[in-house]
Amino acid sequence: MELNREDALRRAVALATRGRRAILGITGPPAAGKSTYAEQLTAELVAAGHQVILVPMDGYHLAQSALEDLGLAAVKGAPQTFDGYGFVALLKRLKDSADETIWAPRFDRSIEDSIAASIPVPPETTLVVTEGNYLLFDQVPWATGRTLLDECWYVDLDDDLRHARLEARHRLFGRSPQEAHERTYGSDEANAKLIAATKPSADAIITLT
């Protein structure tokens, strides 16, 4: 199923107003626009009076120091560089313990690290929007997390534009043009191929331009 932004908003409103807490996943390859789209969707829903909170998966990046100790810093963003079990445990709490305030971590790109207990999810929250690379990944623990999502949408973008955005992002955060290019077409592209393979499992496809 393909959704435009208007149809997607109506579908999200239905999730937010069905009478029990729902979790909506937004996934897609690096620089496809899923983070920006998830932020915009959440803001629209909140502006319309709905109790919606955005909880990105990126808060479960392993700490930079841990990645360096494990020899994984060069492939940051790959599945093994996340605390996948921790993320799935959070989804389960969000689903099963809607009567308590739950605190989630967030990823701060300016320091390239996560900050614990930064995002409060109060009991009145009717929809949690989560976004991340591996929400549709069919390996443990990600596959368990998929069962906790009421819906998961895949954000698609032309690869040439996505690559250009990704290189620009890497340069913005301090990498040289050569480093940005190598990262974009190296580890990031390997991750993008893993994520693209999950596209057929999505409940809906959103194409951004």
The whole-number pLDDT of residue 173 equals 78
DSSP assignment string, 21-72 = -EEEEEE-STTSSHHHHHHHHHHHHHHTT--EEE--GGGGBPPHHHHHHHT-
d(CA 137, CA 81): 14
The whole-number pLDDT of residue 172 equals 87
* 107-148 confidence digits (pLDDT tens): 998 888 999 999 999 999 999 999 999 999 999 999 999 999
Provide the mean pLDDT of the chain. 94
pTM comes to: 0.93
The whole-number pLDDT of residue 33 equals 93
